[in-house]
Amino acid sequence: MSNHFKSAVAAGVMLATAAGAATAAEEEKGFYIGGNAFYTDVFDADGKVSTPGAGSPLDAIPVLGPILGGLLGGGSAAASANVETTFDEDFGYGVVFGYKYASPWRGELEYRIGENDVDSVSGGGLTFEGNSTLETESLMANFWYDFNQGERLRPYLGFGVGMANYDLGGADDDVVIGQLGAGLNFHLTPRLVLDAGYRYAMADDPELKYDNAKLETEYEAQSLLVGLRYNFFDAQYGVQDEDGDGVIDENDQCPGTPAGVQVDSTGCPLDGDNDGVADYLDQCPNTPAGVEVNAEGCALDTDGDGVIDVNDVCPDTPAGTPVMSNGCGEQQSVVLRGVNFELDSAQLTANAETILDDVTETLNTSPGFDVEIQGHTDSTGSDSYNMNLSQNRAQSVKNYLVQGGVDSSRLTARGYGEDMPVASNDTREGRAENRRVELKVVGESDVMVEEEPMMDDEPMMDDDVMGEPAMDDMSDDSASEEEYEYFYEPLSDDSMDDESMEDDMSDEADAMEESAEEEADDSDYDIDYDF
């Protein structure tokens, strides 16, 4: 073996060793090693033999000795003649080290050795039986393209190029060699592959120099091989990827993905906002989490008022009705659950102020709408007290909204007392529903009542619960009648005697005590209401 060829082999071994230090864990991508046995047929080789003019031609080339005497003459010098050499078919062996790319391509280094006996040598009409052996070694870089990715049986085509050492009768030469190949790979297991292939190789013409002669010849050969290959990764076979998204059908939860659409590891199109509509179809790609969307990925707007349902406090607005930023239009009302008051007063609780901050923002972003603030109570207590309390609490809400920047002319505060219940006053739950503050969109302002200032000496109960005031506070009937005559009909002087009034007031005091307990529990309704 020549020094050049030995160096090439050493370099190939070093490269394979270095590359073998790492393997890829991804499917269908990584290193592999293998070995093969091949049966080689070396084509008949035409050549030319010549002597330098010294020594006997019979001894010039041992493998051709019997014929050279006839071709060149027993003692001729500086002679030459054409010869043809034939070879027997024989076996050889090889090893490979390669890398399978994520694409269908494989690249590998292949080292092969083979021997073929010389069958005959002929020239000048003479033919003699061969008495030597052609020995070949090669190191090649091969590139193979595998078809039927994902299948167990995969045909392949490819080519290789490298260096070969050609040795015949003690003389050798290093030549460039190339090959074409095809074959079938059959995956016995995800890591073990059976290789059956065909190779056609052709090299530069070797020039063999002996002591007293030189042989110029040619080299072409074909081989059939069988080999085993071990993958350092798990190949996927027996599977399909019909939509071509890179996720095999077995793992593809969305097998009909259109070409070119980006998918996740399950084979489903990406959905950046997780609204259930794939990004490539999503016309509103940044929908907030949890918002219900339509087929185009846009938030639902059931009533078509331009305010999406998730923000629409009045989701059933009639078509064509102008609405505020919260989706409410003229003559629509909203109950502000959680807008409660301190016990025995019209002072807003901290939670109520938080809710009214949202209301303020809505009103300030919808300056074209006027709103009526309605106070309502349950039936506990006298009509006059309930009317008084509902008015003052409605006024308290208005004052807070005005402090937040809402134009006072857009707001009307009105107390309705117990006149507009929404549930039965016979149950605790019903009374809790009746104690409420509502906002009604009225369009153009139409103030129906004169708004009264808060009265510091009038006792109030918590939330919208109507409680009976202390007895001394309610004793001045004339003052109460004069100040709130718009809201209730005053009692006549003869409507009841002193004894019956005392009995009624005693019963009412008991009722008010029970109502106070209920109102104290209204904190259960302190919720943030998005107006």
Question: Contact at 8 Å (CB) between 216 and 197?
Answer: no
pLDDT number for residue 495: 36
Whether residue 121 has pLDDT greater than 80: yes
pLDDT number for residue 442: 79
Dihedrals phi, psi of 481, to nearest 5 degrees? -65, -40
pLDDT number for residue 510: 59
Considering just the CA atoms, what is the radius of gyration of the chain in Å?
Answer: 51
Dihedrals phi, psi of 192, to nearest 5 degrees? -110, 125
Confidence band of 15 (pLDDT split at 50, 70, 90)? very low
**To the nearest whole number, what is the mean pLDDT of the chain?**
75
- Cβ neighbour number for residue 21 with a 10 Å cutoff: 7
- Bridge-based pairing state of the strands 219-231 and 333-335: unpaired
Whether residue 21 has pLDDT greater than 70: no
Structure tokens at 454: 């808060």
Confidence band of 471 (pLDDT split at 50, 70, 90)? very low
CATH of 3-231, one of 2.40.160.20, 3.40.50.10880, 3.40.50.300, 3.20.20.370: 2.40.160.20
Structure tokens at 93: 């062996």
* β partners of residue 334: 439
pLDDT number for residue 371: 87
pTM: 0.44
DSSP per-residue letters across 387-401: HHHHHHHHHHHHHHH
DSSP per-residue letters across 187-235: ESSSSEEEEEEEEEEEEPPPEEE-SS-EEE--EEEEEEEEEEEEESS--
Report how far residue 121's alpha carbon sits from residue 509's, in angstroms, rounded to the nearest whole number.
Answer: 136
Whether residue 475 has pLDDT greater than 60: no
pLDDT number for residue 329: 67
359 or 75, higher pLDDT: 359
CATH superfamily of the 331-525 domain: OmpA-like domain (3.30.1330.60)
Report how far residue 286's alpha carbon sits from residue 298's, in angstroms, rounded to the nearest whole number.
Answer: 9
Mean pLDDT (whole number) for 277-301 = 76
Contacts of 122 (CB under 8 A, 6+ apart): 67, 83, 84, 128
Report how far residue 274's alpha carbon sits from residue 291's, in angstroms, rounded to the nearest whole number.
Answer: 10
427 burial class (0-12, 13-18, 19+ CB within 10 angstroms)?
A: exposed
Single-letter residue type at 315: P
Alpha-carbon separation of residue 426 from 416, 419, 515 (angstroms):
19, 15, 12
Report how far residue 309's alpha carbon sits from residue 324's, in angstroms, rounded to the nearest whole number.
Answer: 13
User: How far does CA 298 lie from the centroid of its chain?
Assistant: 20
pLDDT digits (tens, 9 = 90+) for 353-384: 998 998 898 888 878 788 899 999 898 888 89
pLDDT digits (tens, 9 = 90+) for 297-308: 776 676 777 677
Whether residue 149 has pLDDT greater than 90: no
Query: Domain limits of the chain?
Result: 3-231, 239-265, 331-525
Contacts of 284 (CB under 8 A, 6+ apart): 293, 296, 297, 298, 299
Dihedrals phi, psi of 229, to nearest 5 degrees? -130, 140
Single-letter residue type at 248: I
